[in-house]
Structure 1
């Protein structure tokens, strides 16, 4: 008897086939998703830290969410160049974090747990910036038509221009101009008429205020971060400008760029007594750090040391040009190097055994210093430093009759700008003796040694 093979009902075949298709599609989707994710991660790693061809606008902010929102709105309305906005919130308690989170797809931001001050907030933003050019901008400002265009034209007109700032209605110094308006509505009318390019309004100056600064990204490797030893605000921009002027770079006011400035809103919230206390402390810190900074700027400019083979090296050097030799340095990750005549040597010795305390520098500064191919021990460096011609040993420290401390080098001596700079490099205890005046006069004088910035942020 012939048996007939039983067939599944048609609908059962269909459901079985549909189930297989769904399973296959799910597997293919999952594999494709994983592949795409892996490719995205790889691409992200490749491009992380690469600049984009635009401007990073860094805005430190503290408890002024309404001003911040108006500032950002003005940027979005009046900026035609490619840009990114980076807001660093200094531990605000007024809803700033909530506002930034709502704008997460339109700007980048960092939420700090505590108020790190202007310098700390700016440094965090500088670390995050990816643009070819960078603007530092106060949150209590309104930008107007042509603001960035005109500043950019000024900056790019001369490779020796280090930083450009705009004209404004409210600031100290040469950037303040007389304005005919009393209200913000009237300001927009004024700005619409005023916002035309005019190179005759560009002016070289000795001082720019930090409420708005435009510069090339590459400047950071020459100058470094802002000094976080200044509390809350005031003088940290002055300090940064001195470091820039020591390189012989120009500060320029682009007078055809106008920004409305409400004026030190965050500082005014401190109250007069606290404001004066912070201002006084920062002034004392600035004086202790520099002594007379303008005399050092003038000395460097007149010395010719910024020229090599007839070429100005203002933009070509690194922060280490103004650092001492024969010191141990480290980054935030505890990597250590010997700094020897502008070059860093990997170092694996134990400073505790040798009584050497490493000096903390930013990763930015350390990366900008040329790296030697070989390691060097402290003893090897000392052996290299012995002079056979009867002169002091390379790297030795001497104090002159006027109190200035010098470090003896291979072919010149270098003055420390202050005793504070000496302390910051942990060199105060290594002064040998007084330097005879006749020896001081017989040796060429090199670039001064300045103090490295104090850093509070563990990721810089």
Structure 2
């Protein structure tokens, strides 16, 4: 009888275990929902890497040795074949849960794509991009953070180093790594007098707040492999009204271009292509109006100010949204007209309408028909949709909410498929000048991933 009793107890125990698992899952799911989007009060250190396991291990060791502040490390591997994945698994197990996380991309998707994947994974209030061929030094992160917090309206801060282009390079007297460590320990004495503003920061080491990412979005993945994506991101931060700064009291060692050199002669062609893309994207940027004042930032739409309204935007989960007048409506039904993938941090800045918009109605508004039906659940739903007009220079602009919005350049126009919009009138120079000017339309970053 005792054996039978024990056998009978097994199903009951399994039932209790199943109930426990279900309850644990429910509680975990609810905790995840509540925690999602809530930053962790630390710094997320994001390291893209490709086939340089030895350098990456040195970099990780230097972080562990010289970073007492709260941090997490996120390594994004661009398809390495040198045992990087196995090394990360071993290191992650040794460091404990959450200290080191990684993502294996499967192929070399480029620096910008790897950075973006790491930014999406990051939990920290501050975000730091770091090359795999760097060695950090005593007080490096503390001094960078002090500079970011100490310079009014600072958006991105970078250190000085021994090997880089531009203003961040300094003459360093050491010849060996042990000598570098000893020299850097004295060099990195906190000194706000060595902080200075700059117009350009390179991407080997960049510290920013999460709020900047939420305001301007991710890196542009249109830059192949590497080069110029950091210039692009820095310019977008400046256009949003932020300052760039060099923390002259924070030195890190940089071996320099280790991953890029491994690409060989192909890198010259890649750099030329990226330069052409950068110049085409930002042609005419000098005509943009003054940047947003800091006191206006909380109410600003961020980089969305440079995006047109009356567009279909694709989110990270594949949902297609109709964007107009600072709000978004989920498009209900098949959408066959042009759409643009937009970073979720930017889409989240837009209010969400309670009711979806039928695809047919959104299509009517995309075509700019003056008698288009109003949008559901919109106080100004009866307003006319943005109207495509032919400008005196032959380009297509938009009359949006009574203001004339001109594309910054041909790439901006094609980025938003303005040339595919039905044009119902051509403006003379006098007619164009008579319409109040709205913000210029700039090209959106290319996102090949869902982010």
Could you tell me the TM-score, scaled by structure 1's length?
0.85
Alignment-derived partner of residue 348 in structure 1: 332
Larger mean CA deviation between 74-83 and 407-416 belongs to 407-416
- Unpaired segments of 5 or more residues in structure 1? 1-12, 387-392
Q: Which moved more, 1:371-380 or 1:45-54?
A: 371-380
**Aligned match of 1:74:** 62
Aligned partner of 2:343 in structure 1 is 362
Secondary structure of the structure 2 residue equivalent to 1:187: helix
Distance 1:396 1:147 in 2: 52
Matches of 2:252 and 2:312 in 1, distance apart? 44
User: Could you say which residue in structure 1 is the equivalent of 2:82?
Assistant: 94
Alpha-carbon deviations, 1:205-247, whole Å to 9, x = none?
A: 1111011111111211211111111110001111111211111
Among 254, 257, 261, the residue aligned to 1:264: 257
1:324 aligns with 2:281: no
Gaps of 5+ in 2: 374-383
Distance across 1 between alignment mates of 2:419 and 2:11: 73
1:418 counterpart = 2:406: no
Residue 182 of structure 1 and its aligned partner are, at CA, apart by: 1.7
Q: How does 1:118-137 map to 2 (within 5 A)?
A: 118-137=111-130
Residues 21 and 319 (structure 1 numbering): CA distance in 2 closer, same or farther, change over 3 Å?
same
Q: 1:449 aligns with which of 410, 425, 441?
A: 441
- Asked if the contact 1:163–1:215 (Cα under 8 Å) also holds between the matched residues in 2, the reply is yes
Give the count of matched residue pairs: 428
The 3-state SS of whatever aligns with 2:238 is helix
Change over 3 Å in CA distance of 1:342–1:208 after alignment to 2: same
**How far apart in 1 are the matches of 2:418 and 2:347?**
19
Q: Which residue of 2 aligns with 1:10?
A: none
The offset of 1:60, in angstroms, is 0.4
Q: Residue 289 of structure 1 is aligned with which of 276, 281, 285?
A: 281
- 2:379 is matched with none
**What TM-score, normalized to structure 2?**
0.86
Q: Give the Cα separation in 2 of the matches to 1:36 and 1:338.
A: 38
- Report if the CA contact (8 A) 1:416-1:422 is conserved: yes
Judged with a 3 Å threshold, the aligned counterparts in structure 2 of structure 1 residues 157 and 385 are, in CA distance, closer, same or farther, namely farther
* Structure 1 residue 236 corresponds to structure 2 residue 232: no
- Matching residue within 56, 60, 65 for 2:53: 65
Aligned to 1:83: 71
Find the counterpart in structure 2 of residue 6 from structure 1.
none
Residues 407, 68 of structure 1: alpha-carbon distance in 2 compared, 3 angstrom cutoff:
same
- Across the aligned residues of Structure 1 and Structure 2, the Cα RMSD in angstroms comes to 2.9
Distance in 2 separating the partners of 1:238 and 1:453: 13
Are 1:306 and 2:292 matched, yes or no?
yes
**8 A Cα contact 1:219 1:315, kept in partner:** no
Alignment match, 1:182: 175
- Greater C-alpha Rg: 1
User: Contact between 1:357 and 1:426, CA under 8 Å: does it hold in 2?
Assistant: yes
Over 3 Å counting, the alpha-carbon distance change for 1:223 and 1:23 in structure 2 is same
